[in-house]
Amino acid sequence: MNFLYSSDDRIEMLKKRTRRCVCKYCGGSLTLRRIIFHDIEDVRVEIFCASCDRIEFGVELEIYHSARNFVENIGFHYYTGMDQNEKTQQMDIAKVCDILSWGCKNMGILKQDGFQVPLQLEKNNWAECLVLSSEDIPLEEKTKEKGDL
């Protein structure tokens, strides 16, 4: 048994994360799961996303919402060489979650036990911002009317 991965402190930290964080891919809730690693004969408790069926350390809920908002409204694609589908969109959101988490940790406002400052998440703050490529915008002939300069 690897004591580093089964210490009470680590389990307590993981429990707190499952209560506070969400999956950075699907935004779903997380659970603790005992996972058996046959190759190294070890049993570890890890945070798990049942919906994605993967070990997932999780991300702060506010970061997930912000990242999803960014990807959906800006049309951000990190994995440009891949087909754009639900799976790649989840990967794009997860990538932005990594960037935002890193930035928040780097600024000292996000620690292992969550945000260190009160947050005021703006809901739908990008709802009025629509990004169109130039081909999507119909050409409009402007007629000059009397009085226009």
Closer of 52 and 61 to Zn ion (Cβ)? 52
Helix (H) or strand (E) holding 21: strand 21-22
* 140 CB burial (10 A radius; 0-12, 13-18, 19+): exposed
Closer of 6 and 51 to Zn ion (Cβ)? 51
Contacts with 109 (C-beta within 8 Å, 6 or more apart), sequence order:
115, 116, 117
- Block residue for tokens 């790649």: 88
Contacts with 20 (C-beta within 8 Å, 6 or more apart), sequence order:
58, 60, 61, 114
Q: Segment contacting Zn ion (CB under 5 A): 17-25, 34-42, 92-100, 114-122?
A: 17-25
Q: Which of residues 95-134 bind Zn ion (CB under 5 A)?
A: none
Q: Which of 18, 52, 48, 23 is nearest to 33 (CA)?
A: 48
Count of residues that interact with Zn ion, criterion CB under 5 A: 7
Q: How far is the CB of 28 from Zn ion (least distance, A)?
A: 5
First-last CA distance in the chain: 81
Q: Segment contacting Zn ion (CB under 5 A): 9-17, 19-27, 73-81, 108-116?
A: 19-27
Q: How far is the CB of 26 from Zn ion (least distance, A)?
A: 3
Q: How far is the CB of 27 from Zn ion (least distance, A)?
A: 7
Name the residue type at position 81. G
- Site map for Zn ion, 21-60, x if CB under 5 A? --x-xx-x--------------------x-xx--------
Q: How far is the CB of 62 from Zn ion (least distance, A)?
A: 17
Residues making contact with Zn ion (CB under 5 A) = 23, 25-26, 28, 49, 51-52
